[in-house]
Structure 1
Amino acid sequence: ALPGRAYPGLVPAAGAAAVVAGRALSGLSPPERAVLDAFEGDEYETRRLVLVDGRPASAYVWRDVAAALDQTWDADAFAAAHLPAFVARILSHPRF
């Protein structure tokens, strides 16, 4: 969870073998990847990682580790309170 934000951020753990649940997108075109890069912005950096099945992947990792909250982001609470506004924000992005 990130302070003052409805959306989550992947935060690096102290141990190298940390595991986090999530979704992996594949088959993105270069323009689709550019939209994601622009949307995520400078608050995230792209890092290479390995999925639990051994496949390589990239992830947007939250840069300001010290600002992250010591709690897990709640996807159900987000969906109930913020999802429609979040989708509208994405669709209003100039790259769409």
Structure 2
Amino acid sequence: MAHQAGLSRLLLKTALGSLEYLQAIARVDGHVNSAPGWTQQAAVLNGASDLFAEIMTDKASHARTAFGHSELPLNAAVELVLIAVMKSEIH
């Protein structure tokens, strides 16, 4: 599920026209729909982190935090919040 959520973050490419304007992914916060007592939220985020590393190699190193929630909007399994650093000059 985090892999799927990561794909939606790659809409940055569509919005920007190219990933060349992306300097780095700085932070990813993952909100995971979880049952009481389940503590593997960080493992769920591996799918998104792995996808970013595969597609953006040198730009994908990021800090991340995983949060467990009893419910997410629209009954989503995973919600990602991504902070990206853009290049200051675009040629």
Q: TM-score normalized by structure 1?
A: 0.24
Between 1 and 2, higher relative CO (CA 8 Å, sep ≥ 6) is seen in 2
Q: Which has the higher helix share?
A: 2
Q: TM-score normalized by structure 2?
A: 0.25
